[in-house]
Chain A
Amino acid sequence: MSDRFGHLVRAEWTKFRSVRRWVLGLLIAIGLTVVLSTLFASVGGTDANSAPAVADRFHFVHQPMTGDGSVVARVSGQEPSHDWAKAGVMIKQSTASGSPYAAILVTPRNGVRFQADFRTDIGGSGRTAPLWLKLTRSGTTITGYESADGTTWTEVGSVSLSLPQTVEAGMFVASPEIVEIQRQFGGTSIGGRPTLGRATFDNASVSGGEPAKWQHEDIGASMFTSDETGATESGGTFTVSGSGEIIRLQQGDDDLIFNSFTGVVFGLMAVIVVAVLFITSEFKRGMIRTTFAASPRRGRVLVAKALVIGLVTFVAGLAATAGAFLLSQPQFRANGYRPPAYPYVHLFDGVVMRAVVGGALFLALLAVLSLGIGAILRRSAGAIALLIAIFIVPQILFGGLPLNVALWVGRVTPVAGLAIMQTTKRWDTAIDPWPGLGVLAGYAALAMGVAIWQVRRRDA
């Protein structure tokens, strides 16, 4: 039995390779993918490596601290200006933005955190204000504690920081921007709306060194006027308003691996045309009768055809994606996509292999889908137009649709298969790589199922 199926596969392979235009069509698919990918990679650039590495903006109520000691305060209230609004106590080298620090803080939605030097982030309890927070300095070690009552303290985390003898210690308030994505035809702009955080503190004290007066100021450039940010004290209760973020900035969120394959969108058109013609040309000329007379088990014929077009396209696709990757990467490097923001990647890296082999699988499954639709419609023009519409229209519309609609389209239509070439997850990621390819595989299987059912039922 399997032997006979081998005959069918061999016959379909002979059919494919003996029509020069189809072989040429796949070579065109490779060429379009590689050339256009390289071309797109050569335009545009990045300044990711020259952009600031950290954001360090907040309002700081502080006094100097010398040698070992501690800073304690009770956060009596915090306004939920942002899920990641911060209110807490901090020890910082100086009031210069970007200088080393350690802080224990509370957020409206993300509990208690011990953070240091834009790097360390240790989660404490899920408590919200009111609560007590404390930092102690002993040698180079700074330890953060939280407490419900100011008596029983729980260590959240500690960090080793080399700071000068005299540092600034005190209370701080920060509140990040709300990210807003504006979408229009032709592009997407990402903007931020600043928020103003406000918290009240009491029982604030700094031990270590001479007692001093509290001072307060904006650290880093504030988006708000000095009337809006600030600190007032009344009977030991401080009301502090501040804005900003204390964080290492995410640089280089461009998916340079995915962006190596921009030409695939054009190459896939050639794949669609070849795969559709592989079946519709038989219907057009009545050759399907010769085929079905030679092999009356029609379902097996279609499966053999799908196997041949799938394998052939996979091999061509592998050449296309590997070529596109290898030629695009030097272009990206030349345009400023370099470490540290963009580490170099190589063809045999895991995620690169997934994208390169997955891209070829994507094209192979697309070919099978095209074959199935061609067998259902039996008309070249209709099938090709439908398939190109399925894959190209969403690409054009993507920028113009509301984000959630665009993401939905990218999740439930065959376009989801393109996700296999993604290697990062961003705000505009519709679906994960393998599930995305799975969606396309589902459509291909469905089309083949309907095609087999029809071809068995209908007269040839």
Chain B
Amino acid sequence: MEATIEVNGLRKRYGRTVAVDGLSFTVQPGQVTGFVGPNGAGKSTTMRVILGLDAPDEGTALVGGQPYRMLRVPLCHVGALLDAGAIHPGRRARDHLLWMAHSNGIATARINEVIEMVGLTSAARRRAGGYSLGMRQRLGIAGALLGDPPVLMFDEPVNGLDPEGIRWIRGLLRSLAAEGRAVLVSSHLMSELQDTADHLVVIGRGRLIADTTVAALVAAASGDRVVLRTAHRTEAMTALASAGATVAATDREAVTVTGLPAERIAAVLGERGLSFSELAAHRATLEEAYMELTRDAVEFNSPTVRAEANNE
């Protein structure tokens, strides 16, 4: 089976709330695709539709070219962690994996393998009710890996993990992608994905905002802004404006310049004999780029932020 997820024109509403609104994207094998958006953006809904749990109102979601519901041994095609809490607290971790294995005819020997992969060997015979959130995440990941599937989906897998666990999961995601699998990881925090994801699908209010690589996204958000720091602010602004740049004062000594490269700015200031203490090309962080992208798409933002957005 081809290791891809294809989402095409997906639309899903719950009552009057539109959760996903015409979403299309593709998850490619061999890379980690970050699925980012604010809370309520429709990430979990999209994942449920991909898994055939919720029926879309419009559009399709295909896994390896097939609707999920057509898969006969789905755990061997797609592994998914949706909700780490979705385990019966009275059941031993090992038994949880055992019924999953039985349901898809997976050899029980595989259970010990995945338990070891997620580092739960010593806790596997304990009841899941006594697990910490981090341990539940690991158990959920073990379940996703059970069928050795070429496609993997993890919904907010970092939640509840300690720093060591976060480092572990980043390594796991990278290695799964390196094995040629398609890996889709959702998060509402871009920073979590900064060093992990190769590709990003950014959504807000159920719509696609960006479908791009991490590098391209940062570059786009940075723009060609240059930060200038000078004691002669007013003169500098006049000179640069007349040279064709757009200038904006950001504080008493600082000016943001757009429309001119840094070398040209330095030349213009030199011609006028205006000294400056700093001249730097601005480089946005991934987080800033994300904030920029999703500013309009935040569902539950504060009224002041909303007002600013409307004024633009």
Chain A residues close to B by CB (< 8 Å): 3-4, 7-8, 10-12, 14-15, 18-21, 281-282, 285-287, 289-297, 459-460
Contacts and interface: CB of A to CB of B under 8 A. Distances in A.
B88 A293 contact: no
A279 to B, nearest CB: 12
Nearest to B14: A459
A11 B100 contact: yes
Contacts of A11: 99-100, 102-103
Q: Which of the listed residues B91, B92, B143 has the most CB atoms from chain A within 10 Å of its own CB?
A: B91
Contacts of B143: 290
Contacts of B103: 7-8, 10-11, 291, 294-295
Contacts, number: 91
A7 B99 contact: no
Contacts of B78: 293
A296 B86 contact: no
Contacts of A286: 82-83, 85-86
A386 B85 CA distance: 28
Given A293-B80, A460-B53, A15 B87 contact: no
The size bracket of the interface on B is 20 to 34
Contact of B74 (A21, A282, A294): A294
B52 A296 contact: yes
B90 A20 contact: yes
A306 to B, nearest CB: 16
B102 A289 contact: no
Contacts of A7: 102-105
B88 A19 contact: yes
B8 to A, nearest CB: 19
A287 B87 contact: yes
Given A7-B105, A293-B80, A14 B95 contact: yes
Given A18-B92, A285-B87, A297-B69, 8 more contacts: A4-B72, A282-B88, A286-B86, A287-B86, A290-B82, A290-B87, A293-B75, A460-B48
21 contacts: A4-B72, A7-B104, A10-B103, A11-B99, A12-B99, A14-B95, A18-B96, A19-B88, A19-B90, A287-B86, A287-B87, A287-B88, A289-B82, A290-B100, A291-B103, A293-B53, A294-B74, A294-B103, A295-B74, A296-B52, A459-B55
B305 interface: no
Contact of A293 (B52, B87, B92, B102): B52
B91 A296 contact: no
Interface in B79-128: 80, 82-83, 85-88, 90-92, 95-96, 98-100, 102-105
Given A11-B100, A287-B86, A290-B143, A460 B74 contact: no
B18 interface: no
Contacts of A295: 74, 103-104
A24 to B, nearest CB: 10
B53 A4 contact: no
